[in-house]
Structure 1
Amino acid sequence: MVQVKKYHLPPTRLIPNSPYPLLHYKGLLSDPSKRRPEDIHDTLDGNGWETQWIFRYGATQASHYHSRIHEAMVVLSGTATIRFGVADTDPDLDKSTWGGACEEGGVEIAAAPGDVFVIPAGVAHKTYNASPSAVFSLLTPGEGRGIPGPDVRESLAGVRLSGFTMLGAYPKDCGSWDFAVGGDDVRNFEVSWNVPKSEKDPFLGNAPEGILGQWGKNLGNMEVV
């Protein structure tokens, strides 16, 4: 049975977040035989989602959100902490990660191999404390906004994982992802709030445990905290 955890994240002064909850499918792909990137791609493709990248993460990154597109992330290897729902308040990554220079609120989740996150447009996220330690790097061909070449599946099969890695996917035909760090859409948060939900969940398809059931109603509190 799928273990679904959901988090309603209200908007902050800098981050729109979303009326839809952040979804965490804990250990959905914990069986290593189900974590081959090319097989994950097949599942995503069949549900109308496009695999666009595999990143190996470093010690930390800037908190950011995608204002006009939903995102699915799959943990392929390693462990890390992901902070959702709040912006950094200092450009110094040491201060914003370990020194408390971030907005109040949000949620921090320990990410492990096989975890899947479905992140609504507008929800901030920041990955840090990645282990094994490594240098941040894009492992797939291209620039992270799609995998070029005649055979995406073959490209994914050739990726050699190391450190903490995640695969990212987005609904097909919904444009490219942006990288908003907070404060970008103040007074225009509705742009993110009104992004339509996808026709199918990236992994659960039409199952009610996925976005078709979890995002069926506007249950979030959209008052700025």
Structure 2
Amino acid sequence: MVGIKQYHLFPTKLVPNSPRPLLHYKSVLPKHPNTSHCDPVSVWNLFTKNDWDVQWIFRYGPTQLSHYHSQAHECMAVLSGTAKIRFGVADTSPDMHENTYGSAREDGGVVLHAEAGDVFVIPAGVAHKTHDTKPDAEFALLSPGKGHGIEAEDPVEALSRVRLEGFTMMGAYCGGEWDFVAMGGEFEKVWSVPKPKFDPVFGGSENGLRGRWQGSGMVAKARL
């Protein structure tokens, strides 16, 4: 039985978050035989079959700026390594040490442990920040292209050649082009991004977002 946890993250003064819950599917992806990694091709096949557009594989560095996507829902699959991911609050300083380990961030949110095999389904508007990645590595785009699509004549062959080192994730999107918004924006517009037809992992089953993301996505205008 797959463990599914959901987290309701309400609007803050700086980020919209979403009326739809963040979903964390724990250890839902199988590991590649004789390794602790997940097979990028298998994950690509799964997401693509369910109409989610795979855009990248990134190897993450020690931390990043908290951000959200205003035009698309995001699915992140952990392929290798471990990390912490903070959801639901904005960073309030460009100082990466202070906004990761100090107090330069909004109050609230949730910090989740991420490891190979996990999948996060992130509604448009939900702020997120990956940090404390293990093994240590430098940030890098591992898939061919510029991070907005797998730019290869044969994506399957290209992904089969990706060498997974450090903490790596595959990102897929539904609803529109992904952008990088640190704070602000038109909250109501973000909340109106349409609900996907299929869950990236469970497809047409009610087990995932189809049964847990109800309604149109619009919420009241009140801010926390």
TM-score per shorter chain, which class?
over 0.9
Q: Give yes or no for contact 1:19–1:218 (8 Å, CA) kept in 2.
A: no
Deviation at 1:30, TM superposition (A): 4.6
Match of 2:176 in 1: 175
1:23 aligned onto 2:23: yes
| Residue identity in the other structure for 1:93 | M
Deviation at 1:221, TM superposition (A): 7.0
Distance 2:32 2:46 in 1: 15
Match of 1:224 in 2: 223
In the superposition, the TM-score normalised over structure 1's length comes to 0.94
Deviation at 1:131, TM superposition (A): 0.5
In the superposition, the TM-score normalised over structure 2's length comes to 0.94
Distance 1:6 1:28 in 2: 15
Aligned residue pairs: how many? 220
Deviation at 1:35, TM superposition (A): 2.1
1:210 to 203, 208, 211: 208
RMSD: 1.6
2:84 to 81, 86, 90: 81
Q: Which runs of 5+ in 2 are unaligned?
A: none
Q: Which runs of 5+ in 1 are unaligned?
A: none
Q: Secondary structure at the match of 2:42?
A: helix
Distance 1:70 1:126 in 2: 16
Distance 1:73 1:138 in 2: 14
Match of 2:192 in 1: 194
Deviation at 1:207, TM superposition (A): 1.1
1:130 to 123, 126, 133: 133
Identity fraction in percent: 54
Deviation digits for residues 173-219 of structure 1 (CA, Å, limit 9, x no counterpart):
x4310000012x1xx20111110110000010011111110102479
Distance 1:157 1:59 in 2: 26
Higher RCO, 1 vs 2 (CA within 8 Å, ≥6 residues apart): 1
